């Protein structure tokens, strides 16, 4: 009986030994389509993450500016800018009671690589404003190109 099983396996043709070239191409095409679909959805989440990071950075600057104000009695001037939160300003008015740094690192670029805009006084009768021009780097815009501001 063992002999017969061995003979039957030996006489069988080997037609199922691997994939054909067409099957391989179809598999690669399916993988590429799935990868593209995932890639497009990741880009959408990447934009949302950049927007959230920008809002968090603006909030960090806002809190640091409040600490600066408590120590120095005034906010940095527009010419001193946000860099006054990292190193003591040398431009007038030089604060005598500066106890910084008020940030744990130098002022970074916004998530799109642009610089944050600091204004003193700010919009709507606020003492300061911090603005990022969004992904397009231009004032105004909608969607991903919209400005992110400290007063909203």
Q: What's the mean per-residue pLDDT of the chain?
A: 83
Q: What is the pLDDT of residues 103-127, one digit of tens each?
A: 989 999 989 888 999 998 888 888 9
**C-alpha distances in Å from residue 126, one per residue of 15, 62, 152:** 79, 12, 12
- Walk me through the domains of the chain, giving residue ranges and CATH numbers: 23-149 (3.30.700.10)
Q: How confident is the model at residue 64 (pLDDT cuts 50, 70, 90)?
A: very high
What 3-state DSSP class applies to 126?
A: coil
pLDDT at 10 over 70: no
Higher pLDDT, 88 or 141: 88
Q: How confident is the model at residue 5 (pLDDT cuts 50, 70, 90)?
A: low
């Amino acid at each position: 009986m063992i002999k017969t099983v061995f003979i039957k396996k030996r006489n069988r043709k080997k037609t199922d030994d691997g994939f054909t070239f067409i099957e391989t191409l179809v598999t690669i095409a399916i993988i590429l389509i799935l990868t593209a679909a995932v890639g497009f959805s990741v880009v959408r989440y990447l934009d949302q993450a950049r927007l959230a990071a920008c809002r968090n950075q603006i909030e960090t600057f806002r809190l640091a500016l409040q600490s600066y104000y408590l120590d120095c009695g005034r906010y940095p001037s527009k010419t001193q800018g946000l860099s006054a939160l990292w190193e003591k300003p040398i431009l007038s008015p030089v604060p005598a009671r500066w106890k910084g740094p008020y940030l744990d690192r130098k002022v970074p670029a916004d998530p799109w690589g642009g610089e944050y805009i600091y204004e003193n006084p700010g919009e709507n009768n606020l003492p300061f404003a911090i603005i990022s021009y969004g992904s397009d780097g231009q004032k105004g815009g909608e969607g991903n190109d919209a400005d992110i501001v400290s007063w909203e």
